[in-house]
Amino acid sequence: MNIYGKKIGLAILIALFPLVCAVFSFAESKGQEVPKKFLVPPPPFSPGIFPCSQCHKYMPVNKKQRKLEQMHQDITLKHMPGGWCFDCHNPDDRDKLRLANGKLISFDESYYLCAQCHGVVFRDWKAGLHGKRTGMWNGEKQYRLCVHCHWPHDPPFKPLQPLPPPARPADIK
Amino acid sequence: MSKIRSNPLGVKLDRRTFLKGAALGLAGTALPLNKADASFWEAFFQKHFREMNDDEKKKVIQRLEKEYEQKYKKAIHIGSEKPMPGVLFGYGLDLSRCIGCRRCVYACVEENNQSIDPQVQWITVLRFKKGEKWIDLEESEKYYNPEQVPESGHFYMPVQCQQCENPPCVRACPTQATWKEPDGIVVVDYNWCIGCRYCMAACPYGARRFNWGEPKRPAEKINPNTHYLGNRPRYKGVVEKCTFCVQRTRNGRYPACVEICPVGARKFGNLLDPQSEIRYAIEHKRVFRLKEDLNTNPKFYYFFAYGR
């Protein structure tokens, strides 16, 4: 009886093994796939330019790498030598960005696009170290998108005019 | 027969009369009866902030609010939020990002009601040449004023109160008008400060400021959300300093300098919380503290996020 009980228990375990595995792998994939949403303000579009589909819907897609002459002439790409529009923008649905693996993301999640190359910075940004935070130190924090400080077509932070220096002791009356 | 001395004015004064007159005269100077309203006496006999109970604090704050309202013709709220339990504030500043734009200096002035004339600023931004003896404070420049920052070949280091765990300024104060709060902020009670400036001499970071003149700030520019130990308007002849914006941080908000920094070089958080930004910086980046060898144990961490 005792031996039978053990055998039945073993049999049940073996029978259930694939199911247990499936549950675990499901949990794992779920943990990877659900990204943490960061609280960010809307992306800094030039006024009236979004949604891109308002013009691009009526235009044929030209996937030839070329210099733009009718629109967007102000954009000269000084980022990623040899790169061009469709490395990041999605040719078929212009209101989305496209990751290298083909996954489409919206403009307010553009940090995933930047993270493809700038992984170390992305890690610091997620931890709250890279970039500006406002809000509560012990509560809800307002993040900023990468593109709020780094214009993606020419990313280095632009110089600023400093505010006035302090008064010198000699200038105090 | 009483001993009478003559004097050059010809006034004859015996000892008893002189002592009477002296006593009356002294009483007259020590007790300014002309402005002896209740508020004056309350201020004169105000207890030390840490010895007051909540009721006494409330009374003192009501009196001060009334005084400020008369002076600035607008309502000014003085808070007295207590330190949160389990919180020790720490600050991080990323030297690889700071561009020396001085936005923090002026955000601090606006938030903390510093005097505009004479000028009082709690943050000093120092400029250093790259590649020289690295942190030679004597060779630093604080009056730099180029068209644009950052300038090539230079880096910038803002210095403010380092909120030491072992603060020399507190030990120097003869009236205990400055002390370290349980959440790590070193504060000043402006009503107890006698203006001897011993704390300024003791501070190795030059972080304390003295009000040499009556602090002047237009009433419309006064920030009405204040804290008793923080940004309430100060008096002539008292010392003041950075308090990590105690009026904001004790309510969970970031300090004003953190929120204004355009490059996000300034980080703030709870050193006792392993999930906080400041702990991440200390654990993952190259960190140093200013003049660490003095054993002041500052809670202000400079670090380099760029390049590991």
In a domain, B285, yes or no: yes
Residue B213, min C-alpha distance to chain A (Å): 11
Residue A105, min C-alpha distance to chain B (Å): 26
The pLDDT of B256-276, averaged and rounded, is: 95
SS3 content of chain A, % helix, strand, coil (to 5): 35, 10, 55
In a domain, B2, yes or no: no
B158 with B272, same domain: the answer is yes
Name the CA radius of gyration of chain B, rounded: 24
Percentage with pLDDT > 70 across chain A: 79
B124 with B259, same domain: the answer is yes
Interface A-B, measured as beta-carbon pairs within 8 A, has a size of 101
Q: Could you tell me the residue range of the domain that residue B20 belongs to?
A: 13-42
B207 touches chain A (CB under 8 A): no
B173 with B99, same domain: the answer is yes
In a domain, B4, yes or no: no
Q: Is A122 helix (H, G, I), strand (E, B) or coil?
A: helix
Residue A166 has its nearest CB partner, among B142, B249, B276, at: B142
B294 with B208, same domain: the answer is yes
Angle, alpha carbons B170-B175-B177 (nearest 5°): 60
**Of B19, B94, B40, the residue nearest B288 (C-alpha):** B94
pLDDT of residue A57: 86
| B176-220 residue pLDDT tens | 999 999 999 999 999 999 999 999 999 999 999 999 999 999 999
The pLDDT of A113-122, averaged and rounded, is: 93
In a domain, B69, yes or no: no
Q: Between chains, do B149 and A164 touch, taking CB under 8 Å as contact?
A: no
| A49-86 residue pLDDT tens | 889 888 888 888 888 888 888 888 888 889 988 888 99
B158 with B286, same domain: the answer is yes
Number of domains in chain B: 2
B140 touches chain A (CB under 8 A): no
B280 vs A contacts (CB less than 8 Å): 127-129
Pair of tokens at residue B165: 């765990």
- In one-letter notation, the amino acid at residue A43 is P
In a domain, B155, yes or no: yes
What CATH number does the domain containing B111 carry?
Answer: 3.30.70.20
Residue A106, min C-alpha distance to chain B (Å): 25
Report the sign of the C-alpha dihedral through residues A105, A107, A111, A116, in that order.
Answer: positive
Phi/psi of residue A126, nearest 5 degrees:
-65, -35
One-character DSSP codes across A20-59 = HHHHHHHHHHHHHHSPPPP--PPP-PPTT--STHHHHTTS
